[in-house]
């Protein structure tokens, strides 16, 4: 980090690579970060595509060799936006070279890899963050404030869902998202981990889980190309043959949470009608909150008021007031923001932590805590029994 500049290398250029690239531009242009961000290197396997995207998104250089990139002395920070099977190797090597690291969620596909990554982050002492971007939606930050202020009182229940429907079509090809060796799991790792992380952030840890998992479509056509985003979009033609799906299409969980609360959770890509509905409801003795990502500027807040129960009801707060978290960077009140800003906020906070040499959350240990819950869920579903969540100690 020379002259208050942060030279970043981004590994991966598809859906998440595009979002992260957009976020670097946004942070630099609109948020006045404490370090000047230089979009130094974009790295990926396909030289031609990396070059095209780097030119479009404003990266200075390209590379097809991540190991070389993370070892370069002129690179300060490494951003990992590739599927989970590659996270541990890239992140640990980047940390060994003293880089700051931002790693997409879930932290890794296995507990062992997650532990390795936490250890490497501790040894490096740099800012190692995991990309649970929804923590940084303004309405979620507002929910966090309300809960911290004790406004919900003792919390009884958390209801969390992450519902999509793009995989219902059985002709959607067998992209990496359906392959356990690459993605680690399906709706569990891709979607439910966001809900688990938000529960950790807003309410607390998981102690026991009772889960079931289901794969509705067992075979899918093999993809014709390696391009596309894995979500069954254009560019993902098929070859005619099929292959086995090795991940869950739905995961449902009942959980005991810290503080005597109960959680009920589900994630699936088969909820016809829902496109990207991360819905969270938290009920306490004094009140409740409701959040729905498809209406992400709103937080619904219910106050139990025994003085006048006839006027009780959820109120809809538009989380766009300049006093609401992050809103000072955006538009006049009521001029709503979108999915992409959660990534900009995440990058801003990472850069700020690097600049001020402060800890950043969610860090790799938060990523590991999430993975511990994932492990317990998989074990519970496989054995059809309630399973204790085991915590790693260091």
Give the binding site for ligand SOE (CB under 6 A).
Answer: 164, 190, 231, 276
Q: Report the side by side order of strands in the sheet with 250-257.
A: 314-318, 298-303, 287-292, 277-284, 155-163, 262-268, 250-257, 206-214, 387-388
Q: For residues 276 and 386, which CB has a smaller minimum distance to ligand SOE in the complex?
A: 276
Q: For residues 76 and 190, which CB has a smaller minimum distance to ligand SOE in the complex?
A: 190
Task: Indicate the helix (H) or strand (E) that contains 153.
Answer: none
| CB 251, min distance to ligand SOE, A | 14
Among 238, 85, 233, smallest CA distance to 174 is for 238
In angstroms, rounded to a whole number, what is the distance separating the alpha carbons of residues 372 and 366?
10
| CB 235, min distance to ligand SOE, A | 16
| CB 105, min distance to ligand SOE, A | 6
Q: For residues 53 and 164, which CB has a smaller minimum distance to ligand SOE in the complex?
A: 164
| CB 292, min distance to ligand SOE, A | 14
Q: Alpha helices of the chain — where are they, by DSSP H?
A: 15-26, 47-57, 66-71, 87-96, 111-124, 138-148, 180-183, 187, 193-202, 339-356, 364-383
| CB 59, min distance to ligand SOE, A | 22
**CB neighbour class for 286 (10 Å; exposed up to 12, middle 13-18, buried from 19):** middle
| CB 131, min distance to ligand SOE, A | 8
In whole angstroms, how far apart are CA 379 and each of 91, 150, 187, 335?
27, 34, 16, 45
Q: For residues 184 and 284, which CB has a smaller minimum distance to ligand SOE in the complex?
A: 184
In angstroms, rounded to a whole number, what is the distance separating the alpha carbons of residues 45 and 250?
31
In angstroms, rounded to a whole number, what is the distance separating the alpha carbons of residues 376 and 256?
12
User: In this structure, are strands 287-292 and 277-284 parallel, antiparallel, or unpaired?
Assistant: antiparallel
| CB 45, min distance to ligand SOE, A | 19
In angstroms, rounded to a whole number, what is the distance separating the alpha carbons of residues 308 and 177?
50
Q: For residues 342 and 387, which CB has a smaller minimum distance to ligand SOE in the complex?
A: 342
Q: For residues 62 and 187, which CB has a smaller minimum distance to ligand SOE in the complex?
A: 187
Return phi, psi of residue 291, to 5°: -135, 140
Among 21, 153, 17, 18, smallest CA distance to 83 is for 17
| CB 269, min distance to ligand SOE, A | 7
Q: For residues 136 and 256, which CB has a smaller minimum distance to ligand SOE in the complex?
A: 136
Q: For residues 155 and 174, which CB has a smaller minimum distance to ligand SOE in the complex?
A: 174
Q: For residues 75 and 344, which CB has a smaller minimum distance to ligand SOE in the complex?
A: 344
Counted residue by residue, the chain has a size of 394
In angstroms, rounded to a whole number, what is the distance separating the alpha carbons of residues 136 and 26?
15
Q: For residues 62 and 342, which CB has a smaller minimum distance to ligand SOE in the complex?
A: 342
Beta-carbon contacts of residue 393 (< 8 Å; ≥ 6 apart)? none
Among 99, 88, 93, 37, smallest CA distance to 66 is for 93
| CB 249, min distance to ligand SOE, A | 13
């Amino acid at each position: 980090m020379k002259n208050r500049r942060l030279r970043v290398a981004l590994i991966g250029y598809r859906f998440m690579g595009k979002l992260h690239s957009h976020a670097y531009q946004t942070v630099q242009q609109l948020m006045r970060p404490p370090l000047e961000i230089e979009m130094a290197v974009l790295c990926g396997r396909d030289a031609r595509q990396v070059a095209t995207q780097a030119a479009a998104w404003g990266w200075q250089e390209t590379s097809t060799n991540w190991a070389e990139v993370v070892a370069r002395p002129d690179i300060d920070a490494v951003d990992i936006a590739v599927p989970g099977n590659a996270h541990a190797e890239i992140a640990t090597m980047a940390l060994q070279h003293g880089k700051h690291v931002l790693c997409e969620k879930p932290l890794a596909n296995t507990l062992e890899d997650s532990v390795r990554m936490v250890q490497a982050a501790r040894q490096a002492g740099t800012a190692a963050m995991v990309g649970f971007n929804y923590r940084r939606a303004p309405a979620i930050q507002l929910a966090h404030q309300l809960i911290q202020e004790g406004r919900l009182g003792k919390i009884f229940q958390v209801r969390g869902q992450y519902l999509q429907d793009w995989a219902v079509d059985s002709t959607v090809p067998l992209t990496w998202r359906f392959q356990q060796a690459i993605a680690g799991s399906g709706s569990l790792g891709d979607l439910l981990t966001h809900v688990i992380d938000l529960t950790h952030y807003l309410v607390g840890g998981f102690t026991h889980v009772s889960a079931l998992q289901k794969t509705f479509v067992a075979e899918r056509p093999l993809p014709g190309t390696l391009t596309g985003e894995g979500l069954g979009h254009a560019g993902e033609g098929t070859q005619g043959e099929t292959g086995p799906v090795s991940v869950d299409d739905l995961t449902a969980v009942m959980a005991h949470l810290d503080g005597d609360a109960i959680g009920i959770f589900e994630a699936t890509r088969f909820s016809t009608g829902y496109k990207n509905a991360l819905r969270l409801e938290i009920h306490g003795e004094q009140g409740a909150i409701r959040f729905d990502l498809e209406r992400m500027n709103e937080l619904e807040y219910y106050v139990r008021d025994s003085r006048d129960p006839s006027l009780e009801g959820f109120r809809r707060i538009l989380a766009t007031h300049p006093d609401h978290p992050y809103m000072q960077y955006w538009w006049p009140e009521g001029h709503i923001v979108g999915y992409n800003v959660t990534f900009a906020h995440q990058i801003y906070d990472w850069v700020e932590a690097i600049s001020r040499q402060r800890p950043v959350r969610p860090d790799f240990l938060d990523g590991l805590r999430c993975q511990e819950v994932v492990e317990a869920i998989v074990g519970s579903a496989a054995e059809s029994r309630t399973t204790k969540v085991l915590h790693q100690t260091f």
